[in-house]
Amino acid sequence: MRTVNKVILIGNVTKDPIIKSTEGGNKLALFTTATNRYYKTSDGESKSEAEFHNCVAWGGLAERIEQFLTKGKLIYIEGRLKTRVIEKDDGEKLYKTEVVAMNLIFLDKKWDPIEGAHWDETPAPMSTSIDDDDLF
């Protein structure tokens, strides 16, 4: 039977992305987005609850994120979930679940990187595909 692993988020970037490079020269961008869930309590009181999502992007998408993504931007992210196991020195295992971004769209009307940037040619879409092997 087929399965599905797809994530779609619309949220705000909580801090400027961290950009790293692998030994092979492949760029990756690490960033966190926040989404809110709004609900009413049994008393009828309106409440909201923030959820924070760790995200990672690779290659060309990471390069675009390095150029344009900053804290506070409203973005659409499409990707998949990936859980990594990190073994600490004492043998304890930590599990970290991230959204591996495959597509990112700026939704902030105040600033559009395509309109606001100077391009010699039409930029490529802000998406990429990666293999699971790229994650480790």
The whole domain housing 96 covers 7-135
- C-alpha closest to that of 105 among 69, 80, 59, 131: 69
The residue whose two tokens read 């760790």 is: 54
Q: Is the pLDDT of residue 120 over 50?
A: no
CATH number at residue 55: 2.40.50.140
Task: Calculate the CA 40 to chain-centre distance.
Answer: 29
Q: Is the pLDDT of residue 122 over 50?
A: no
Q: Is the pLDDT of residue 119 over 70?
A: no
Whole-number percent of the chain with pLDDT over 70: 79
For every residue of 36-100, which 3-state class applies, written as one string?
A: EEEEECCCCCEEEEEEEEEEEEEHHHHHHHHHHCCCCCEEEEEEEEEEEEEECCCCCEEEEEEEE
Instruction: Give pLDDT, residue 136.
Output: 38
- Residue 109: pLDDT band by 50, 70, 90 thresholds? low
Instruction: Give pLDDT, residue 110.
Output: 60
Residue 57 φ then ψ, to 5°: -135, 150
Residue 1 belongs to some domain of the structure: no
Residue 2 belongs to some domain of the structure: no
**pLDDT tens, residue by residue, 28-76:** 999 999 999 999 999 999 999 999 999 999 999 999 999 999 999 999 9
Residue 105 belongs to some domain of the structure: yes
Residue 119 belongs to some domain of the structure: yes
Q: What is the mean pLDDT of the chain?
A: 84
